Structure 1
Amino acid sequence: MDTGTHIVMGVAISGIALADPVIASETATMHAAIGGIMIGSLIPDIDTVLKLRNNAVYIRHHRGITHSIPAVLLWPLILTILLSLLLPGANFLHIWAWTLLAVFLHVFVDIFNAYGTQALRPFSQKWVAIGVINTFDPNIFVLHVVAIGIWSFGVNPIFVFAILYSIIFIYYLLRFAVKAAVKHAVANTLPDASEIIISPTIRFFQWRIVASSETCHYVGRAYGRAITIYDRFTRDPIPDLPVVEAAMQDSNVKAFTEFSPIYRWEITKIKDICEVRLIDLRYRSNDYYPFVAVAHIDDELNVVNSYTGWIFSEAKLNKKLNFMPY
């Protein structure tokens, strides 16, 4: 989920924590627990700083080890130790328990996005991405804000947040049902499709669709059960050429292929370099496919420059690559 949603979830957990008689009766424990909950609701995303290094490192590792089983256990312990040192006399066990809940819920809700997490590490490197909730879901965010507002007027937080999470639970069930209906509709529309990827959008009934048959890739949108296919690409295997082999060894291209389950390729000769471009088909936006990996290869099969990430114009891509095509 996005940072804003994690924050309001932290506030909601803090409200529920006040039902704990130890937290409610001990000032130091209450302050430490709320601090642990709020920091714990955000700390798994500390790997966002990897973006300062480069996109390849960020794409490979974001929501990786910081969302793993060892991390879920270590973050609360580290935070509890630090908070206990800052607030002597605070109840260690109660701080740890509520901080653990906050960290666990952060990782748990992230698995329902299309991006997913490596939440099963170290037992599996597989990305767990259920894909029923958009990274930012306005309904979930607004429900939290409304519930927090009601709590601020003095209503019992247990009552308020019990209703909130009951509604959100039903909401998740509805999202699963809508996604299943969309997948069934796509299968009926494209009976030759052997692979179907359905991703949520910010709108409840609208979904991104990518489907593949033995010969084609299809890209479209669903609104409820109504399926619209925008693009159809011939599914050709990427050629076994020296320039392709050289590109595939580049760190940016490797990061892209590890992250993207379905993409098409383009190979273009531009001036004295050969451009190998991989295009993720899951993120079509306004007739454009913004998530790409590009490698420029010279005649000696050296990677002159490369890039992976989200780009919404060729001019910006060329600027990133420090390349003038004309």
Structure 2
Amino acid sequence: MDTATHIAMGVSLTAIATQDPSMSESFAATATTLIVGSLIPDSDTVMKLKDNATYIANHRGITHSIPFTILWPILIALFIFVIFKHVDVTHIWLWAQLAVFLHVFVDIFNSYGTQALRPITNKWIQLSVINTFDPIIFTILCLGIVLWLIGLHPFVVFFPIIGILFIYYIIRFRMQAMIKKQALRSIQQEHNPVKVFVAPTMKFMEWRIAIQTDDYDYVGRSYGRNIVFSDKTKRETLPSSDFMQYVKDDKNIKTFLNFSSIYRWQATEKANGATEIRLIDLRYLKNGHYSFVAIANLTQDKEIDHSYIGWVFSEEKLQKKLYAN
């Protein structure tokens, strides 16, 4: 989820935690515990200061893993104990554990996903039923916070909200299944589907769709039950070993291949004899442009002149960033 929603979750948990007698003595300690706990797994965002490849390879990775889901609450409890002194460390730790767990848990429902099961497996868990920012979830949480602030009992406000959100998630899973079935039905007579991706947008009835078949890639959107494929491209295998042996160890290419769950590639010869290898994530098509790509530019001598990975929303900006690197 986005930062604003995680903060709203932290404030909501703070409201509920005020009813714990061991937490009610210091509202500041309670709020700090729950809000920090709701945000701390995303502390890996600082990796973006280094470069995109490092950020993409690690964001929602180890900081959302099993060991860190256990470690973060311990660190928060120690911090709260040092700052606020007279607090019940056990209850602080338990509430911090709940906040951290919920952060990691809700993130698996996005398209980006997390490596929540590390070190058991490094696989990205991407259930893709809730957009990174879901306006309905955010609005419901904010409404609950307002009702609590004007004096309603937190149990009266937030327990029904938990039930509403549970039902909302079930609805999103059913919608995803229905759209996937509809999308497959629309192409199944012509091709054999190999991989299917269906993910939400900020609009409740609009979903992103990407389907790879034996022969073609189909990319489009659903509007209710109406499926519109805006891009159909002949599918090709990965570049030959002649190309891949030169780019496979580039950190931007390696990061893309590890992160992206459905993609295609292009090899374009340049006027100067260089070759551009472009890997295109099919999940992010908007206004005719694929915004998440990885690019490696090979010179005539098969050396990587420059490479790039990241989100860019126009070809012009992409080329500027590419050569800036």
TM-score in terms of structure 1 length = 0.95
Name the structure 1 match of 2:139.
142
The superposition leaves residues 196-237 of structure 1 with CA deviations (integer Å, 9 ceiling, x where unpaired) of 110111011111000111111111111222111111111111
Q: How does 1:167-178 map to 2 (within 5 A)?
A: 167-178=164-175
1:50 aligns to 2:47 (yes or no): yes
What is the RMSD of the two structures over their aligned residues, measured on CA atoms?
1.2
Displacement over 6 Å in runs of 4+: none
1:284 aligns to 2:281 (yes or no): no
Deviates more, 1:58-67 or 1:295-304: 295-304
TM-superposed deviation, 1:241: 4.5
User: d(CA) in 2 for partners of 1:264 and 1:70?
Assistant: 34
User: d(CA) in 2 for partners of 1:125 and 1:40?
Assistant: 23
The superposition leaves residues 116-172 of structure 1 with CA deviations (integer Å, 9 ceiling, x where unpaired) of 100001111111111100000000001111111111111001110111111111111
TM-superposed deviation, 1:193: 1.6
Conserved 8 A contact 2:239-2:265: no
AA partner of residue 92 (structure 1) = V
Conserved 8 A contact 2:18-2:30: no
AA partner of residue 10 (structure 1) = G
Conserved 8 A contact 1:243-1:274: no
Any gaps of 5 or more consecutive residues in structure 1? none
AA partner of residue 89 (structure 1) = H
AA partner of residue 251 (structure 1) = K
TM-superposed deviation, 1:248: 2.1
Deviates more, 1:39-48 or 1:239-248: 239-248
User: d(CA) in 2 for partners of 1:293 and 1:106?
Assistant: 29
User: d(CA) in 2 for partners of 1:47 and 1:195?
Assistant: 30
Name the structure 2 match of 1:259.
259
Conserved 8 A contact 1:178-1:224: no
1:31 aligns to 2:32 (yes or no): no
* Identity, % of aligned positions: 46
**Count of residue correspondences:** 320
Any gaps of 5 or more consecutive residues in structure 2? none
Conserved 8 A contact 2:195-2:262: no
TM-superposed deviation, 1:20: 0.7
Name the structure 2 match of 1:154.
151
Q: How does 1:105-144 map to 2 (within 5 A)?
A: 105-144=102-141
User: d(CA) in 1 for partners of 2:275 and 2:179?
Assistant: 40
Q: How does 1:197-208 map to 2 (within 5 A)?
A: 197-208=197-208
Name the structure 2 match of 1:308.
309
User: d(CA) in 1 for partners of 2:244 and 2:119?
Assistant: 32
The superposition leaves residues 38-86 of structure 1 with CA deviations (integer Å, 9 ceiling, x where unpaired) of 1010000000111111111111110000001111110000010111011
Conserved 8 A contact 2:264-2:280: yes
AA partner of residue 228 (structure 1) = V
AA partner of residue 294 (structure 1) = I
Name the structure 2 match of 1:245.
245
Conserved 8 A contact 2:124-2:259: no
User: d(CA) in 1 for partners of 2:308 and 2:321?
Assistant: 7
Conserved 8 A contact 2:296-2:308: yes
TM-superposed deviation, 1:23: 1.5
The superposition leaves residues 251-286 of structure 1 with CA deviations (integer Å, 9 ceiling, x where unpaired) of 111111111122121111222421111111110000
Conserved 8 A contact 2:239-2:267: no
Conserved 8 A contact 1:268-1:276: yes
Name the structure 2 match of 1:12.
12
TM-superposed deviation, 1:292: 0.8
1:317 aligns to 2:322 (yes or no): no
Conserved 8 A contact 1:242-1:301: no
TM-superposed deviation, 1:302: 1.2
Name the structure 2 match of 1:195.
195
User: d(CA) in 2 for partners of 1:6 and 1:83?
Assistant: 20
User: d(CA) in 1 for partners of 2:253 and 2:78?
Assistant: 41
Q: What SS class does the counterpart of residue 109 from structure 2 fall into?
A: coil
1:181 aligns to 2:178 (yes or no): yes
AA partner of residue 107 (structure 2) = D
Q: What SS class does the counterpart of residue 238 from structure 1 fall into?
A: coil
